[in-house]
Structure 1
């Protein structure tokens, strides 16, 4: 049933995959596990497999000896022996007698002649029934009262080489030789098309399996979404089974693109040093710089490279800034004191420091508890002028922050301070501090965060870069406050901003000659 090449291939694959019969059968599609182990046993004994068909008797030596002994014990009656034991056929029994007792076989045994006399027409009818394939030979022999071996002998006589069986067929529609040849050609073409369809389906199935094994793609992956580089890896993995011109059309990849990608894979990475430098910049800056800021730092170091290259390298190296969204803290407690106008009107630009200030309170929730940050942001360059951190969003948190900021002002500076409608900015103590320092109050509309979007933007950057995507399960409140305070110092002194020409707020003010 299986050729020598198929059997030896299966045995060697079975040994290579660690003697896993189920895996071997699933990958090769043949044979069953019992046959595979039988082949391996033969291979392990002789270091090879038999070539051609190996004929194995279904009767054991003990059964042969019992049949021959019974035959001699009962007057050498082959028919009685077969009926009593139920095996074998009379010709086979005579053959066993000749093998086991050659002298007795020559002296006593006679050539077998069938006791059932069948006419030529009956033999032809028997062979016709066997050719239909509806019944087994044993069933046909039982119907006609003969042995199965007799039916086999008749088949060889009537259907052997150089002989034809003349059967009487029912009348059918006469067809010309040309028509029969045409129908045959059509059937052969149809079979060929079906074989090609099956081959293509098997090819697509193997490609999808390799995409899962090599590229770790999920089930249902669309081949059109693969990059050319990934397609080349798939092709190389299947080249030992399929031709290149068969794989390229299925993956929708031109031969020129394939050759280009192969050369790129073989060639040395010309961005090897740049990759390492980008990794170091990303790690040194708390893993919060995207490709634009990394590109800006490279440019400051004198490295000329496009933003697309930086973005591609960061994607390949999985240098991804973690981000998430959380529900923000709401400090609105109702209309405690009269409201004030929105003087800033979303104009967050300033021509000099301490001209416009923004403030708000944000919440950080970690397993150890809640922490609150109250900062003042300068609209001139985004610097955090003053900030306080605490575990309760009370008036002391906001008032202390405002008092620290006022202490940094010159007598001639009276900035506009914009906030939301939170209760902290409507309590009498806050209002008294503002009036004493000569500061102007401005408030957003109720529930309108865009009116204070510059301050909200600072909170978003802060949490994306320092808070979200990190594990705070083992952090205490004090250690988190230390981390938060450290980040704000780094934000003012080191963190670059594209809008400031790749400088931090401190560096920007120094470049303008402003005292800090």
Structure 2
């Protein structure tokens, strides 16, 4: 006859390891129960929050330690993160926030913005000339990939008769470290510059441009749909405002 809603594994854990021998025995039992009820998907951050709802307040590190002792962990795949040590093509910040230029085609800045249209994501890559803050070229794609930024760069180069002394500045995004992107720069004698890690102010002009674009176009309009005109480009069909 069932006398408790406690899971079998929780019960046997308490039987095998009496509370008198382990001051965390009670909370460990609840950790096991929460873990099993989540289908083994909860890691220590979510288990910590679940324990708080039961009146048990523990530091995340403590909960992580207890889970390690119980030999349990979330079965959800951990997201891969790029470590700084693996990055081999980071350039120095040669632009150094000098966001003015005496002549056209001496200083370009570039970045990629994510735009949501009807719960779908599209990506806009743009290159701006700091001489007059004009967008020299842009590419739009459903995929934030190397092909998009290279196409954007090729467009800008094709429009430029002379790239002598030209420098292009971006963040440290993996797309700007790609071999093909750097090769294209080298072939056209374009110097590369990058923002310092995690410092958006080093590319503030592009950040400001994308913020204005979203406020004045994306947020105040309703979009009917997104139509792929070929493998890369996207055309936005704007519906009347409502």
**What SS is found at the alignment partner of 1:476?**
strand
Q: Which residue of 2 aligns with 1:417?
A: 168
Correspondence 1:470 to 2:227: no
Tell me which of 390, 399, 409 is aligned to 2:141.
390
Are the equivalent residues in 2 in contact too, given 1:333–1:422 (CA < 8 A)? no
Report the CA distance shift for 1:459/1:469 in structure 2 as closer, same or farther (over 3 A): same
Give 1:471 deviation, angstroms. 2.9
Give 1:385 deviation, angstroms. 0.5
Q: Which residue of 1 aligns with 2:235?
A: 482
Q: Which residue of 1 aligns with 2:59?
A: none
Give 1:369 deviation, angstroms. 1.4
Correspondence 1:458 to 2:209: yes
Give 1:434 deviation, angstroms. 0.7
Q: Distance in 1 between matches of 2:207 and 2:237?
A: 17
| Structure 1 unaligned blocks of 5 or more | 1-331, 486-516
Report the CA distance shift for 1:445/1:484 in structure 2 as closer, same or farther (over 3 A): farther
Q: Distance in 2 between matches of 1:462 and 1:432?
A: 30
Give 1:413 deviation, angstroms. 3.1
Tell me which of 90, 93, 96 is aligned to 1:339.
90
Tell me which of 128, 142, 146 is aligned to 1:377.
128
Q: Distance in 1 between matches of 2:187 and 2:163?
A: 14
**TM-score normalised to structure 1 length:** 0.28
Q: Which residue of 2 aligns with 1:427?
A: 178
What number of residue pairs does the alignment pair up? 152
**What SS is found at the alignment partner of 1:457?**
helix
**What SS is found at the alignment partner of 1:431?**
helix
Q: Could you give the per-residue CA deviations for residues 378-409 of structure 1, whole angstroms, max 9, x where no partner exists?
A: 00111110110000000000011111111122
**TM-score normalised to structure 2 length:** 0.58
Higher relative contact order by CA 8 Å / sep ≥ 6: 1 or 2? Answer: 2
Give 1:375 deviation, angstroms. 0.5
Are the equivalent residues in 2 in contact too, given 1:385–1:405 (CA < 8 A)? yes
Q: Distance in 1 between matches of 2:117 and 2:132?
A: 30
Q: Distance in 1 between matches of 2:213 and 2:116?
A: 14
Q: Distance in 1 between matches of 2:101 and 2:135?
A: 15
**What SS is found at the alignment partner of 1:478?**
strand
**What SS is found at the alignment partner of 2:98?**
coil
Report the CA distance shift for 1:464/1:333 in structure 2 as closer, same or farther (over 3 A): farther
Q: Which residue of 2 aligns with 1:82?
A: none
| Structure 2 unaligned blocks of 5 or more | 1-80
Tell me which of 348, 359, 384 is aligned to 2:99.
348
Are the equivalent residues in 2 in contact too, given 1:389–1:481 (CA < 8 A)? yes
Give 1:348 deviation, angstroms. 0.5
Q: Which structure has the highest helix share of the two?
A: 1
Correspondence 1:359 to 2:110: yes
**What SS is found at the alignment partner of 1:381?**
coil
